[in-house]
Amino acid sequence: MSHKLSKIVKEIGIDFHGDDVDIDGIHTLSEASLGQLSFLSSDRYAHDLPHTNAAAVILSSKYLNLVPKGTVALLTDEPYLKLALATRLFRYSPSIEIAIPKKGNNCSIAENVTFGKNVVLGDNVTIMAGCYVGDYTMIDSGTIIYPNVSIYHHTLIGQRCIIHAGVVIGADGYGYAHRSDGRHTKIHQNGNVSLGDSVEIGANSTIDRAVFGTTTIGAGTKIDNLVQVAHNCELGENCLLVCQTALAGSTRLGDNVTMGGQSGAIGHLQIGSHATIASRSGVTKSLAGGKIYGGFPAVEHTVWLRMQAKLQSLIKKRKD
């Protein structure tokens, strides 16, 4: 799907002066290709602007001097809202069309499983009753999907995965731009979800699709029941997420990260490989790998224990 830049700016309400080009999608400044639109709404990502390959960028005038040659600057006082309006033009329109998937050998599929169009299954795939598998989804060999799982369009699932009952993969991430009058404008989630080989997902967990790009679950990662993985998260290989863990958007975990029950991360941060986050801890900034963290905000576990001991000592002294 592509649109002329002149059509896009008309739809979102920005004045446009320059060469009219075809735009085939939207992506971040660092990932955008020559035929894509991008945006800048935060100083945090301003360093990516001079190096972007985007054909056009939605941004405020204070960043104009950073726009590279050949990139069209689309100036506005509301870049995030204009981005939200632009995503609507590239949204995928799901259909209710029911189709027969392309199946490998020895697949076991319950009678009441519903498939969208262009679904591909590998060998020895098992899908139990009540599941829905959306358009253009690919499920590799040896994967088993338990009852009442919903898999949205364009999802990629690796070999030997286990997906337990009630899981939802590929629902929209929670993204909105806020208007000055208090209304909220949906940012359409135009990416997808990819699961590596040997991933296991516990019952009633949810993995949201990316805004653009891919929400990624690395090979060998095991996710417990009632876990939320938000849009554009990237989980490395062999991570362990225990029950009721929640990751906000664009959280990145290295390999072999363990997160205890009811722990969480605020998003747009990194947790290094082989880190352990204790139960009920809240991660509010990026953390180095190879260490154990606890508390809220999460700090090294030994520091947290000392803080608790000091607190108990103060309480005891006050009582005395």
User: Higher model confidence: residue 314 or residue 145?
Assistant: 145
In this predicted structure, what is the pLDDT of residue 307?
85
pLDDT at residue 316 is higher than 70: yes
Domains with residue ranges and CATH for the chain = 3-90 (3.40.1390.10), 108-301 (2.160.10.10)
pLDDT exceeds 90 at position 319: no
Q: Residue 41: phi, psi to the nearest 5?
A: -130, 5
The reported pTM is 0.92
* Phi-psi label, residue 260: left if phi above 0, alpha if psi -120 to 50, beta otherwise: beta
d(CA 63, CA 46): 8
* Count of residues making up the chain: 320
Residue 160 near residue 182, CB atoms below 8 Å: no
What is the per-residue pLDDT for 18? Answer: 76
Residues forming the active site:
231
pLDDT for the residue numbered 320: 65
How would residue 15 be classed by pLDDT, with cut points 50, 70 and 90?
confident
The whole-number pLDDT of residue 17 equals 79
pLDDT at 315: 78
The predicted model gives 162-182 an average pLDDT of: 96
For 113-132, write each residue's pLDDT tens digit: 999 999 999 999 999 999 99
d(C-alpha 28, C-alpha 71), whole Å? 14
Per the CB < 8 A criterion, the answer to whether 297 and 284 are in contact is yes
Asked if the model's pLDDT at residue 110 lies above 80, the reply is: yes
Render pLDDT for 235-272 as a digit per residue (tens, 0 to 9).
Answer: 999 999 999 999 999 999 999 999 999 999 999 999 99
Using the predicted structure, report yes or no on whether residue 206 has a pLDDT greater than 70.
yes
Closest CA to 245 of 285, 208, 284, 205: 205
